Amino acid sequence: MPQSAELIRLSDLPQSTPALLAEIQGGRHLMRRLLSLGLRQGSRLSVVQRRGQGLVLATGEVRIAVGSGIADKLWVTPCDLSEDDPDPDAETATDPARSSMGL
């Protein structure tokens, strides 16, 4: 992550904007809770829905609901996933074993 990257609170991230989880400002309990949900520093996520004060996040195929208290402790860097994430189908096209199996 570049040093000039803009950090914003997850609660301020516009809906459907891809981001990387850059910093977690919480204690050990919060870190464990987020890890159990599959969220850690460097995770790619986006806000898919705002529900009252809470948010529904997408990370991969998983959807996670977090309250505003947790959302305020998570700092993210908005990003363009097309820059950082190679085309997921590119690996399939170059791997003959996977392409022959229809994967």
By the 8 A CB rule, do 53 and 67 touch? yes
Instruction: Establish if 51 belongs to a structural domain.
Output: yes
Q: What count of other Cβ atoms lies within 10 Å of the Cβ of residue 81?
A: 11
Q: pLDDT, tens digit, for every residue of 41-72? A: 999 999 999 989 999 999 999 999 999 999 99
Domains of the chain: total: 1
For the whole prediction, is pTM greater than 0.85? no
pLDDT of residue 5: 72
Instruction: Establish if 2 belongs to a structural domain.
Output: no
Taking the CA atoms of 45, 11, 16 and 66 in sequence, report the sign of the dihedral they define. Answer: positive
User: What's the DSSP call for residue 2?
Assistant: -
* Integer angstrom CA distances of residue 64 from 8, 38, 83: 19, 9, 25
What's the CATH number where 50 sits?
A: 2.30.30.90
Instruction: Establish if 30 belongs to a structural domain.
Output: yes
By the 8 A CB rule, do 65 and 55 touch? yes
pLDDT of residue 21: 97
Instruction: Establish if 81 belongs to a structural domain.
Output: yes
Q: Take residue 88 and report the two structure tokens written for it.
A: 């997921």
- Domain housing 74: 8-100
